Amino acid sequence: MYKLVLILVFLFEFLIDCKSQKHNFFIDTFFLYGKIIGRDTGNIVLQYPTIHNQWKQDTCLLKNGEFYFTGMVNQPTFCHLIGPHINNNYVDIYIDKGKQTIELNNSNFKDYQLTGSNIAKELHEWNEKKTAIFMNHPSVKKYEAILKLYNAETNNTLKIQLNQQLHNLLDSIESYHNALKLASIQWIEKMNDSYISATELYSLIINQQIATTEAVSLFYQLTDRIQQSRVGQLVAEALQKSMVNIPAPDFTAKGLNQENFQLHSLIGKYIIISFWASWCIPCIEEIPYLKQLYNKYHAKGLEIVTISIDKDLLAWYNAVIKWNLENWKNVVCNTAIKTSYINPNMPIPSLLLINDKGIIIWNSINKPEEDKITALEKELSNWINIKN
């Protein structure tokens, strides 16, 4: 009776929704039936993008460990399943139109079985490849265990010792990530009609693991339907925002004293934009080099704008004062900047260079393995020397 009432409620809600949105309920609806082994009660949450690209969060009350979700998707869709707030009760899966079932282990959601769709079969194959890579790099498990101890440790002496142990494993961790990166590229090339390929490519781009030229090549290997999928469009948008030789989008942002700063007010100058944060150690380490560039080229027409992604505005303000950054423009990132530029949505520090005509001529995200400051100065000196 419980399940019948629940299903009738969902059917009523979605039939109304389909009528207003002009989608076919029976074609575009997914049904996800699940069970958590080792847990009878509590809540489970499903987060997924709807047909209209708006993230939706549904919560279901467990009954005897069982749960049920339904909603509308028009293509295999990347989503998150989140259980009670204990370690490892989180997993990313794909849902698709029609009925799917999933069985989860309460102690580790990543130990799951998803069935009922083609994307579920592909996901199983991809997960097996990643598991094999993990098993071939036993130091990763050791690194994760030490990192857990490091984060929980309060004794500074012990923390230093644990940090050294983590440092000693960095080469192994890098080897693991390189193996995952290679596996992702090979998957994209082989499975060019898989929605998983679009997600993996987007992850490679956002995490700055491949150069833009390689990302573009991989994108055009995808079939038309994958390029035009929801994640495929995110990839295309990310690639567009990382392009050079395009006008720098204008924006207005708040400065140190809440004054408005407009980027295009500096047209006629060469502009370095640095995306950073007060808590970002590599960003702090980059500051002396930015100061050197400013002192060397400011008289020749260089300006610097630092855009902070800090949420704590006081911490940002104090960092600007502490590191003596008041010679140039300092502003806080806002929605307009995040929408127009991909850099603040990626790992920081991140740099780009705009010429005196307002054109982006260099972006650090295009060659993530390159020495940013050295490459930036080379590009800057070439252009400024031509101008002068």
So where are the chain's domains? Answer: 2-116, 134-241, 246-387
7 pLDDT tier (thresholds 50, 70, 90): very low
Question: Domain spanning 2-116: which CATH class is it, in words?
Answer: mainly beta
In angstroms, what CA-CA distances link 263 with 100, 113, 116, 266, 336?
50, 51, 51, 6, 12
Share of the chain above pLDDT 90, in %: 65
Whole-number Å distance between alpha carbons of 356 and 269: 5
Question: By the 8 A CB rule, do 313 and 338 touch?
Answer: no
Residue 180 reports pLDDT greater than 80 = yes
Query: Under CATH, domain 246-387 is a member of which superfamily?
Result: Glutaredoxin (3.40.30.10)
pTM reported for the whole predicted model = 0.71
Torsions phi, psi for 51 (to 5 deg): -55, -30
Mean pLDDT score, 282-296? 94
For residue 159, the one-letter residue type is K
Q: In this structure, are strands 350-354 and 98-105 parallel, antiparallel, or unpaired?
A: unpaired
14 pLDDT tier (thresholds 50, 70, 90): very low
Per-residue pLDDT at 2: 42
Which residues partner with 255 through β-bridges?
331
pLDDT in tens, 137-173: 999 999 989 998 988 888 889 988 998 999 999 999 9
pLDDT in tens, 310-321: 999 999 999 999
Sign of the torsion angle spanned by Cα atoms 319, 324, 326, 328: negative
